Amino acid sequence: MALGRIFAGLIGRRLDPIKLMLNCCWISVVLFLLACFAPWREVALAASVTVGLAGSCLWPTTLGVAADRFPRGGASMFGLLAAFGNLGGILMPWLVGVTADRSSLRLGLATSTACPLLMALVLLWMQRRPDAEFAQSGPALLTRTSGDAGEFAESDETRTRGLLRDRQAF
């Protein structure tokens, strides 16, 4: 994973991050299926190792793309990303196990392709939307930061009453 992330960091500066992640998703799908249905154990093992390399860039690149697309997202946005990542880490092994119990281990492991397929669909959708459309969205939470203080000419007390009136935190 570390080698894959270093490599992605080196080539990621020259490539579009969405295209990089999209290609890694498609490669992951193919390698997951190859690992599940390969007739030889050696090929399955090699595909399993390689899928780790292909998927290693997805999380850090996702964070970078989210920071670029939503510059005012803040800690709440990264908290939500982490929560959904954890949810996938909880639900996917359970889904693999349930599928394997009801059919076969190969089909159970093949359900792992759902994650890169879903991510590829989201990336295709994002690819069709310009960056400016995302950047013009409002902040993830209605907050004011200390960097915005220059916009307010009134005293702190007046500013606080105005923020509370507008139902915004400070």
pLDDT exceeds cutoff 70 at 132: no
Q: How far apart are CA 98 and CA 127, in angstroms?
A: 34
Angle, helices 17-37 vs 114-127, to 10°: value is 160
Predicted confidence at residue 36, as pLDDT, reads 93
- Regarding predicted confidence, which is higher, 138 or 130? 130
Q: Enter the tokens of residue 102.
A: 């009801």
pLDDT bucket at 144, cuts 50 / 70 / 90: very low
Q: Report the pLDDT averaged over residues 84-106.
A: 93
Q: Residue 84: which H helix or E strand, with range?
A: helix 74-102
Q: Report the pLDDT averaged over residues 77-102.
A: 93
Q: How far apart are CA 104 and CA 109, in angstroms?
A: 9
pLDDT bucket at 34, cuts 50 / 70 / 90: very high
- Regarding predicted confidence, which is higher, 11 or 162? 11
